[in-house]
Structure 1
């Protein structure tokens, strides 16, 4: 089994088309077909169901693909690890994060880290809550900022550290009846329309659960695809929203007012997670320790 065969196999599996895979690989379609056939002959199985040049993975082909993704990730990490042991201060940190941390939390700490290590590089991606956990487990990235922190007894495949706890606050239109208050109770918004994130976002679930705990189910008027969309909906007077406080630092839209909530339990933990089954690469470990140092000073 050759690395070229594996690369061809993964490209065909991704595109489900021999010719399109060949174009992406900049080789002849006949070469791709031949290498796939050689790989199947060596393994003694059919990896694809063929329909002309269009193909689909067989059940065993899907299993083989998952194994090859993990294998290639490990090979890439091994190469990076060798480079970074020679000079960890100029390596790469692969980190993922929820969209709520895109505007302030992560950029500010990356800026501070690169002030200390200016040659360090970052590969960043955002994902939903459970995709962050699965991405760390399966090697798509080694670090992820996350909120709230998963409970250790619920998720044994990852480890991590709480960095800080942030308040949840209300964002209301500027002419809202409660806009001039120094603080409010969440239940005072029970007659308002809410704007929330779509289903699948853990923070949406947290908002609904918080409302339920104080005795009402929020009337959901609109959904926004991200935090900035929610801000725009509130600014347009289409409802109120609950927000993590950090998402509004230096970024409160016009025609809105932040109002603290006096309910003492309205907060979320923010932390960083990493896999229990793999070591962090040197530059990633450098960044992880920098996170601990940074937030320890702030707490």
Structure 2
């Protein structure tokens, strides 16, 4: 048994097709079949069985694949750890955030860190909160940034550190009748149309009906947070958003809300009791030291 056979097993299990797997692995189909046959003979169990035109794992194959994947992951982690020891101040930091946080918060944090650690680099993408948590648990990413987790305490294997608190404000177009106001009560907005953005049906940035005390008229729900300000500026509606420095005050007016509503909290998450490269640890500590969170 060798690592190559375990890698072959993983790809065949994912594709459920020897022909497809052989193309992905850049190996001939006969050679791939022979390698798996040798593995089956060594284990003395069949790992695959026919399923129509394709194949699927047997119950023996499913059991062995679980342990095989763990072995491959451990070896990959070991190689990575050794490389990090050789170059403790360089390396790649793999992070993911929700799209709204990635639009305005992450670029500044990453840019400032790179000014201090120019030899490091980042792998960065946007995902939903469930996607971030999944990738943290699988070790695909080092750190995740999110602002809402359903039953956050139930994710006991994830350490979620609050790093920033932001109050919500109302934004309206410059030509709106409310644009000259500095403060407003939510009760005054009953006849207004709202532009409402949320990461997904479960990851609501703000429950409008809960805080307004009535069901508001939602004129549009953009799929990307970056679209929200443009829609408000164009007159598609008004919106409740976190108060951030990047709100374009040339086209929008920011109005404080009289009522106290729940602030938005940004969290940084990572997998507990798991290996983290030296450079990722440096970045994690940098984020904590350079952000402010007031309870």
Gap regions ≥5 residues in structure 2: none
RMSD between aligned residues: 3.0
Residue in 1 that maps onto 2:78 = 78
1:1-299 matches, cutoff 5 A: 1-43=1-43, 44-47=45-48, 49-52=50-53, 54-57=54-57, 68-148=68-148, 153-197=153-197, 200=200, 202-203=202-203, 205-208=204-207, 210-246=208-244, 249-250=245-246, 252=248, 255-296=251-292
- Whether the 8 Å CA contact 1:164–1:295 is kept in 2: the answer is yes
TM-score (norm 1): 0.83
Tell me, in whole angstroms, the C-alpha distance in 2 between the residues paired with 1:118 and 1:146.
Answer: 25
- Whether the 8 Å CA contact 1:136–1:275 is kept in 2: the answer is yes
Q: 1:149 to 1:4 in 2, by over 3 A?
A: same
Q: 1:256 to 1:124 in 2, by over 3 A?
A: same
Q: Return the offset for 1:239.
A: 2.4
Choose 1 or 2 for highest CA Rg: 2
Partner of 1:20, secondary structure, is helix
**What does the per-residue CA deviation read over 1:113-148, in whole Å, with 9 as the maximum and x for residues that have no partner?**
111111012122221112222221221212111214
Q: Return the offset for 1:73.
A: 3.3
- Whether the 8 Å CA contact 1:48–1:61 is kept in 2: the answer is no
TM-score (norm 2): 0.84
Tell me, in whole angstroms, the C-alpha distance in 2 between the residues paired with 1:198 and 1:152.
Answer: 18
Tell me, in whole angstroms, the C-alpha distance in 1 between the residues paired with 2:51 and 2:251.
Answer: 58
- Whether the 8 Å CA contact 1:40–1:47 is kept in 2: the answer is no
Q: 1:298 to 1:266 in 2, by over 3 A?
A: closer
Partner of 1:207, secondary structure, is coil
Tell me, in whole angstroms, the C-alpha distance in 1 between the residues paired with 2:234 and 2:95.
Answer: 34
Q: Return the offset for 1:199.
A: 6.9
Tell me, in whole angstroms, the C-alpha distance in 2 between the residues paired with 1:213 and 1:196.
Answer: 14
- Whether the 8 Å CA contact 2:205–2:264 is kept in 1: the answer is no
Q: How many pairs does the alignment contain?
A: 294
Q: 1:193 to 1:39 in 2, by over 3 A?
A: farther
